[in-house]
């Protein structure tokens, strides 16, 4: 309800009111009205609160005299003759003005809370709590400004009328005194009660925050983490055939001088509907709906020196020493059944003579020629890529898993007694291990061979000239000579896709034309590689001169039987770049050094 005049809201002690400009001073009472031109004053021990029609509240301390000089709808002016007052001016109407005058200055406010004190001769002080006060000195000082905009948190002290002064920050003490409860009738100890209560509340909430933090920390600390790897990453996504895939990658160190990186892939159900065949892909001959399909890719690299225990020390280690790798191996395998493993492996050994004496890792028949064999020179015609592939089964001497371990450590050697057949024997410490061939199964059939890449035949690669925004899918195959005898050939075929998390094939445009950063792109993509070993329709590599002829030479039948005499299988791997990013960062000094 809008009162037409200002009212005394409450009071205590000796308070007098002059209700109109020409009126008499009468003792004040609660609810008494003060018209324009009226005034109110408190004497010793008195205090009062006045509320104005525009909802401004004025608190008066003792020994204070305040005049309501002007109180129109759009303009109000109070005059503080002497004493201390606190004002809370709410938001005003658009053109409304509100001023408070002291003997020394005029303050204009809108939406402000502030305290002000003055003496009759013009010594004044002002503390602005919220909002802003525009202060103008009535007598401009000789030096310094005569107008100030004083925002909240600052105050101003004027020692003498006409003297220069500047605003300064409120001290905590002054702020407390201005913020405390100015309502009349309160004892001094009670005035700060609200503030103290607020501080206690804040203490409580601080304790509450600290206690909840502690509780959350204990929840986290109970996580049992046993780290058995340097780096690890994992992701669940869909592959290009629509199967749900879980990929995990880890980098570990089996021995002090070895690094092992592996990428293992699990699918609860594996189906491959051969949709890629129409586009130039390869035929999958295995079972559909295979449960708990497991594939793995394992890369092992050994160095000529022990690596420092902690990965943080590697950059300086590689930088300072001449560290060379001694051997390395890549093994890709279909491990769905631990007793029957289809795999493809490539081995590398360090040939010191290469690269002008600096040495480099090479992949040629020397790698599987046993310890003590002489390296093959770069000019030799036999310096071509070699793979070891086939199906391992449990036999009387070794389980399939143990056999794969030995192959991963390059513990196999070409069987000298059977030249040209591609047969291998296990080797340990310079002599043969066991009596069986590598890949010999209980029926004495041997299902593992080594093969060398042919030079004369062209490889198969599709697509040849992709338009700008073609899907990033590539099919390729190379012809390999089993045992390097020129009679038996197989095709090592690969389907490579760049896929998103939903299994869709990406296009180059997805990478080059997005406003996202490359890093965000990486985390939403993966690389899928499906590998096959196929029989060859042609025994004449020189006759295969282009990709079309190569395609015709690739048979649909798998070279190695798996699970059934006429079935084969593939290795279907999904790589996520997550670990690569982390590894590159950690080991960049190492990698740059190795490249050198």
Partner 1 sequence: MKKILLSALLTAGLAGSLFAAAAEDSKIFTPFFDMTLTEAGYLPSEGNIFSGGNINTQVGLLTKITQKDQLFGLYNFNYAGPGFAPQDSRQFTDRSMSHGFNFEYRRFLTDRLRIRPGVALATEYRRTGANEVWKNGLYNMNSAGGQLAADYTFDEEKHGYVTAQVLFRNVAFPNYTDLLREFQNAGNTAETSGGLQDQTMTQVSLRPVWNSFFAGVTYTVQNYKNQKVVAATGVYGDSKQKDTNTTLDFGFHQKLWVFELYPTVSYAMHRSNQNFMVYKFLGDTSPQFGEKYYDFNELAFSVPLDLNVTSKWAVGGAISVTRRNYDKRKARDAANNFTGSAQTNTMSTLTGSIRKRMNDVAMVRLFYSLVVASSNNKFEQYMPYNYTGNTFGVSYQLSY
Partner 2 sequence: MKRLTLILLTLLLVNSSAFAKVDWESKGMQIAGEIMANPAAFFYDFQQDLEATTPLPPGKRFGFQTSLFPTTIPMTYTNVSLKARLHGEGRIAPGVPQLDIVGGYWNMLAAKMATKDSASIDNAKFGGYYMGAIMSSSVSPRVRTFWGYKRSQLKARLDFKEGEQPEFLGTTINSFDTGFKDDFFIAGIETPKGIGKLWSIQLNYGLKTQTISSKVSWYGKIFELGLNIYPEGVLVVHPVWNFHLNF
Residues 380-419 that bind partner 2 (CB under 8 A): none
Residues 6+ apart with CB under 8 A from 581: 519, 522
567 vs 558: CA distance, rounded Å: 7
- By a kind-dependent CB cut-off of 5 to 8 A, residue 515 interacts, out of partner 2, partner 1, none, with partner 2
Question: Which residue, 345 or 587, is less far from partner 2 as judged by CB?
Answer: 587
Nearer to partner 2, 384 or 523 (CB): 523
Q: Which is nearer to partner 1, 22 or 228 (CB)?
A: 228
Choose which of 204, 512, 545, 566 interacts with partner 2 (CB under 8 A). Answer: 512
Q: Which residues of 291-313 are buried (b: 16+ CB within 10 A; e: fewer)?
A: eebbbbbbbbbbbeeebeeebee
As a whole number of angstroms, the distance between CA 21 and CA 18 comes to 7
365 interacts with partner 2 by CB under 8 A = no
**CA-to-CA distance for 272 and 288, rounded, in angstroms?**
7
List 15, 129, 240, 407, residue binding partner 2 (CB under 8 A)? 129
Q: Which does 299 bind (CB under 5 to 8 A by kind): partner 2, partner 1, none?
A: none
Distance CA 323, CA 344 (A): 28
C-beta of 159: minimal distance to partner 1 in Å? Answer: 25
CB of 267 vs partner 2, minimal distance in Å: 26
- Minimum distance of partner 2 from residue 57's CB (angstroms): 12
Give the x/- contact pattern for partner 2 in 145-184, rule: CB under 8 A.
----x-xxxx-----------xxxxx----x--xx-----
Minimum Å gap between C-beta 272 and partner 2 is 23
Give the whole-angstrom CA distance, residue 374 versus residue 160: 104
Positive or negative: CA dihedral 379, 380, 381, 384: negative
Cβ 157 to partner 2 shortest distance, Å? 13
Q: 153 or 486: whose CB is closer to partner 1?
A: 153
Output the smallest distance, CB 188 to partner 1, in A.
19
Closest contact distance (angstroms) between CB of 473 and partner 1 is 25
Among 188, 517, 565, 596, binds partner 2 (CB under 8 A): 517
3-state secondary structure (DSSP) of residue 55? coil
Contacts (CB under 8 A) with partner 2, residues 436-495: 463, 466-470, 472, 474
Helix (H) or strand (E) holding 358: none
* Closer residue to partner 1, CB minimum distance, 36 or 248: 248
Using CB distances below 5 to 8 A depending on partner kind, what does residue 292 bind out of partner 2, partner 1, none?
partner 1
CA distances from 35 to 11, 21, 31, 51, 75 (A): 18, 8, 13, 12, 14
- Kindly state the smallest distance separating residue 278's Cβ from partner 1, in Å: 30
Q: How far is the CB of 589 from partner 2 (least distance, A)?
A: 4
What does 268 interact with, of partner 2, partner 1, none (CB < 5 to 8 A by kind)? partner 1
Shortest distance, position 153 Cβ to partner 1, whole Å: 10
What's the CA gap between 262 and 233, in Å, rounded? 11
Residue 204 interacts, among partner 2, partner 1, none and using kind-specific CB cut-offs from 5 to 8 Å, with partner 1
585 contributes a contact to partner 2 by CB under 8 A:
yes
Kindly tell me which of 232 and 418 has the beta carbon lying closer to partner 1: 232
Q: Residue 261 or 366: which CB sits closer to partner 1?
A: 261
Identity of the residue, 113 or 481, whose beta carbon is nearer to partner 2 in the bound complex: 113
CA distance 456 to 72: 105
State yes or no: residue 321 binds partner 2 (CB under 8 A): no
**Quick one: 529 exposed, middle or buried, by C-beta within 10 A (0-12, 13-18, 19+)?**
middle
- Binding track over 24-63 against partner 2, x by CB under 8 A: ----------------------------------------
Question: DSSP class of residue 459?
Answer: P
Buried b (16+ CB within 10 A) or exposed e, 432-469: ebbebbbbbbeeeebbbbbbbbbeebbbbbbeeeeeee
Exactly one of 207, 305, 516, 545 binds partner 2 (CB under 8 A); that residue is: 516
Query: What are the structure tokens assigned to 31, written together?
Result: 């609810």
536 binds, among partner 2, partner 1, none (CB under 5 to 8 A by kind): none
Q: How far is CA 120 from the centre of its chain?
A: 66
Q: Which of 284, 226, 216, 282 is nearest to 252 (CA)?
A: 226
The string over 241-273, giving b where at least 16 C-beta atoms fall within 10 Å of a residue's C-beta and e elsewhere, is bebebebbbbbeeeeebbbbbbbbbbbeebebe
User: What's the closest the beta carbon of residue 394 comes to partner 1, in angstroms?
Assistant: 11
Task: For the CB of residue 102, give the shortest distance to partner 1 in the complex, in Å.
Answer: 23
Picking from 56, 39, 48, 37, the residue whose alpha carbon sits closest to that of residue 15 is 48
> Under rule CB under 8 A, which residues in 68-107 are in contact with partner 2?
90-91
DSSP of 215-266, one letter per residue? HHHHHHHT------SSEEEEEEEE-TTS-EEEEEEEEE-SSTTEEEEEEEEE
Q: Which residues bind partner 2 (CB under 8 A)?
A: 90-91, 110-111, 128-132, 149, 151-154, 166-170, 175, 178-179, 315-316, 319, 463, 466-470, 472, 474, 498, 508, 511-520, 581, 584-586, 588-589, 592
């Amino acid at each position: 309800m809008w009162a037409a005049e200002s009212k005394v809201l409450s009071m205590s002690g000796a308070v007098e009111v002059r209700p109109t400009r020409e009126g008499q001073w009468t003792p004040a009472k609660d609810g008494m009205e003060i018209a324009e031109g009226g005034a109110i004053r408190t004497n010793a021990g008195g205090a009062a609160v006045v509320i104005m029609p525009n909802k401004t509240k004025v608190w008066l301390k003792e020994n204070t005299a305040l005049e309501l000089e002007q109180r129109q709808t759009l303009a109000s002016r109070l005059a503080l003759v002497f004493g201390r007052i606190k004002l809370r001016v709410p938001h005003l109407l658009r053109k409304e003005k509100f001023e408070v005058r002291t003997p020394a200055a005029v303050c204009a406010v809108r939406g402000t809370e502030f305290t002000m004190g003055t003496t009759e001769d013009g010594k004044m002080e002002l503390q602005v709590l919220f909002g802003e006060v525009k202060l103008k000195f009535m007598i401009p000082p000789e030096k310094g400004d005569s107008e100030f905009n004083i925002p909240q948190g600052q105050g101003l002290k004027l020692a003498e009328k006409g003297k220069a002064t500047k605003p300064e920050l409120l001290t905590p003490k002054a702020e407390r005194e201005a913020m405390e409860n100015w309502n009349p009738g309160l004892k001094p100890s009670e005035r700060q009660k609200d503030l103290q209560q607020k501080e206690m509340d804040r203490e409580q909430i601080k304790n509450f925050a600290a206690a909840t933090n502690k509780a959350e920390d204990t929840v986290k600390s109970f996580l049992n983490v046993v780290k058995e790897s340097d780096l690890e990453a994992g992701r669940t996504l869909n592959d290009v055939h629509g199967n749900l895939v879980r990929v995990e990658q880890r980098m570990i160190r089996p021995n002090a001088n070895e690094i092992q990186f592996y990428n293992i892939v699990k699918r609860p159900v594996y189906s491959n509907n051969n949709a890629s065949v129409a586009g130039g892909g390869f035929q999958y001959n295995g079972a559909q709906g295979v449960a708990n399909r497991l594939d793995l890719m394992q890369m092992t690299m050994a160095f000529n020196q022990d690596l420092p225990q902690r990965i943080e020390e590697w950059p300086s280690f590689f930088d300072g020493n001449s560290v060379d790798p001694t051997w390395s191996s890549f093994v890709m395998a279909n491990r769905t059944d631990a007793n029957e493993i289809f795999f493809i492996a490539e081995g590398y050994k360090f040939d010191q003579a290469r690269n002008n004496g600096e040495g480099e890792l090479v992949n040629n028949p020397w790698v599987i020629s046993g310890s003590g064999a002489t390296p093959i020179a770069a000019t030799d015609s036999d310096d071509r890529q070699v793979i070891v592939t086939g199906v391992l089964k449990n036999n009387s001497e070794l389980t399939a898993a143990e056999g794969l371990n030995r192959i991963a450590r390059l513990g196999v050697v070409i069987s000298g007694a059977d030249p040209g057949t591609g047969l291998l024997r296990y080797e340990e410490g310079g002599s043969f291990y066991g009596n069986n061939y590598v890949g010999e199964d209980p029926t004495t059939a041997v299902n593992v061979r080594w093969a060398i890449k042919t030079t004369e035949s062209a490889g198969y690669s599709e697509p040849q000239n992709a338009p700008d925004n073609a899907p990033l899918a590539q099919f390729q195959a190379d012809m390999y000579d089993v045992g390097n005898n020129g009679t038996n050939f197989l095709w090592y075929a690969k389907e490579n896709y760049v896929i998103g998390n939903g299994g869709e094939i990406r296009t180059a445009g997805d990478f080059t034309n997005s406003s996202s950063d490359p890093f965000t792109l990486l985390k939403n993509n993966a690389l899928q590689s499906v590998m096959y070993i196929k029989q060859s329709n042609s025994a004449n590599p020189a006759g295969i001169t282009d990709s079309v002829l190569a395609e015709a030479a690739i048979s649909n039948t798998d070279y190695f039987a798996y699970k059934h005499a006429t079935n084969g299988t593939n290795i279907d791997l999904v790589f996520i770049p997550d670990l690569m990013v982390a590894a590159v960062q950690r080991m960049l000094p190492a990698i740059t050094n190795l490249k050198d």
